[in-house]
Amino acid sequence: METIRIDINRNQCYDVAERLFFEMSGIDKEGPKYMRMRTDAQRMRDRVEDRICINMICNFYSTSEMELTGRSLKLGGELFTCAAFEQIDPVLIKGAYLYALTAGEYDFKEETIVNRLYADFWGTAFTDAARILVSRELGKNDQVSDNFGPGFFGMNTDEMIKVDKLLDFKSIGVEFRNNKVMVPVKSCAGLFFSVTAGYEKLHSACRDCIGSVQNCKLCKQREIN
């Protein structure tokens, strides 16, 4: 196992986070009403700026430290289960990057409900932006897979306990409370496989699939254009 250093700062996240924010909020429409909403949203972006604190940890596991079989992945001694793993040819795997990151705390109890919602959206946007930038950084020197992990592609969120065992969330200022919730809540964790050129991205429908694990190997959804 090798610890990988990836530095992501808030300035790098701004453009991606802004795009994600407007996708989530739906306030990028024309008209005076939406102009006022964008002004309020921008004011909250300015307020959360001092709270944007990107911290992350990432470990790389070689093929000798992992085993992918069907929907099961044994990584660093922990067993992860994800139906979408069945779509991946193990021959294409060169290793795995396991990561956890946090973007800070974004709760403003003194603000109105609407402004607190904007702050929450900004927190989510910066968290997702950091995750996207981690993928891009890894991709500069290696080809990486889709982002798998608890909450992604149907992997049970209970698997987060195993990620914590391998990464130690406390090292980046994250607590795992009641074995279910990461605090700050604007945090996430997951993994990217290091892959060869033959890897194909999974169909986006797999991310939110509610089918059973037995259905995954029979699914044709990823073949739809």
Cβ atoms of residues 184 and 56 within 8 Å: no
3-state secondary structure of 41: helix
For the chain, give every domain's residue range.
2-8+55-105+125-223
pTM of the model: 0.87
- In single-letter form, the type of residue at position 222 comes to R
Torsion-angle region of residue 151: left (phi > 0), alpha (psi -120 to 50) or beta?
left
Task: Name the phi and psi angles at 150, rounded to 5.
Answer: -55, 120
pLDDT at site 144? 96
pLDDT at site 162? 94
E strand or H helix that includes residue 96: strand 93-102
Q: Which residue has the higher pLDDT, 133 or 220?
A: 133
Could you say which of 3.40.50.720, 3.40.109.40, 1.10.1060.10, 3.50.50.60 is the CATH number of the domain covering 2-8+55-105+125-223? 3.40.109.40
What rounded mean pLDDT belongs to the chain? Answer: 89
pLDDT at site 103? 96
Q: How far apart are CA 157 and CA 179, in angstroms?
A: 10
pLDDT at site 211? 53
The mean pLDDT of 19-38, rounded to a whole number, is: 93
Beta bridge partners, 219, equal: none
Quote the tokens at residue 41. 């949203």
Share of the chain above pLDDT 70, in %: 89
Quote the tokens at residue 221. 């959804």
Nearest to 123 by CA among 17, 7, 11, 16: 17
The mean pLDDT of 11-39, rounded to a whole number, is: 94
Residues 136-173: tens digit of each pLDDT: 999 999 999 999 999 888 888 889 999 999 998 999 99
Residues 44-72: tens digit of each pLDDT: 999 999 999 999 999 999 999 999 999 99
Share of the chain above pLDDT 90, in %: 75
Residues 95-146: tens digit of each pLDDT: 999 999 999 999 999 999 999 999 999 999 999 999 999 999 999 999 999 9
pLDDT at site 177? 82
